Amino acid sequence: QKEVEQNSGPLSVPEGAIASLNCTYSDRGSQSFFWYRQYSGKSPELIMSIYSNGDKEDGRFTAQLNKASQYVSLLIRDSQPSDSATYLCAASTSGTYKYIFGTGTRLKVLA
Amino acid sequence: DARVTQTPRHKVTEMGQEVTMRCQPILGHNTVFWYRQTMMQGLELLAYFRNRAPLDDSGMPKDRFSAEMPDATLATLKIQPSEPRDSAVYFCASASLSLEQYFGPGTRLTVT
């Protein structure tokens, strides 16, 4: 059974701090990884995709990928209360076009 | 701007009734996914299409659910007959060659 695992949280961080969200995956054939943000009552919104080992930065967000350890992370710098949401990690499955989603980590940024 | 659209946004129906949900993918996207999200199960893939052909519907209860893509601009998910356990939010997502999936706003289904 191919899986993507995330700590459900809540992860609470003070405003202005760095929030670190982590994800592990079981399918060694996965090549593409995605982070989605989902506000309560809304649909998932793509915020980052990463395909190669290392870091990828986009504004306050940095995605990190380590394929050897089967580990993906998302760092949010200068966290804002508006970042409070559930963050979903997804991994592509080898040989298909579909993703496996984790169950999400709930982030709370405290003002 | 390009978005996935879904109708209806909300649907309340009685057990046993037929429910049809519609999705218009982003123009030019050739892969369409149907997901269901509940508090207990999270986000579950029900089915997906590539170039209008169904590639995987293993997540879908076959006896009551059906998914079709009659043309490149319309995907449908039908439940007949509906049951209370089908109450959930149903999302459609579309993707191009990049595999990045973009989600629609969802249909919130309540079956009483």
Average pLDDT, chain A: 95
Q: Which residues of A touch B (CB under 8 A)?
A: 32, 34, 36, 42-46, 49, 88, 90, 92, 96-99, 101, 103-104
Looking at residue B41, its pLDDT comes to 85
Q: Which of A56-65, B54-63, B76-85 has the lowest mean pLDDT?
A: B54-63
pLDDT higher than threshold 80 for residue A95: no
SS3 B44: strand
Nearest alpha-carbon partner for A86 in A19, A25, A31, A27: A19
Looking at residue A2, its pLDDT comes to 77
pLDDT higher than threshold 90 for residue A93: no
Say if CB B24 and CB B9 are below 8 A apart. no
How many residue pairs from chains A and B have C-beta atoms closer than 8 A? 41
Looking at residue A94, its pLDDT comes to 78
Looking at residue B111, its pLDDT comes to 98
Q: Work out the minimum CA distance from A36 to partner chain B, whole angstroms.
A: 10
Q: Mind listing the pLDDT tens digit for each residue in B3-58?
A: 999 999 999 999 999 999 999 999 999 999 999 999 888 899 999 999 999 999 99
**Is the link from the previous residue into B81 a cis peptide, with omega within 30 of 0?**
yes
Q: Mind listing the pLDDT tens digit for each residue in A65-78?
A: 999 999 999 999 99
In sequence order, which residues have a C-beta less than 8 Å from that of residue B39 and are 6 or more positions away?
A: none
Say if CB A5 and CB A101 are below 8 A apart. no
Chain B residues in contact with A42 (beta carbon < 8 A): 105
- Kindly state the tokens that stand for B57: 């519907």
Give the residue with greater pLDDT, B112 vs B40: B112
Say if CB B92 and CB B103 are below 8 A apart. yes
| Distances from the Cα of B5 to the Cα of A30, A71, B21, B103, angstroms | 29, 33, 11, 9
Provide the chain B residues 37-56 that lie in CB contact (below 8 A) with chain A: 42-43, 45, 48, 50, 55-56
Pairing of β A45-50 and β B19-24: unpaired
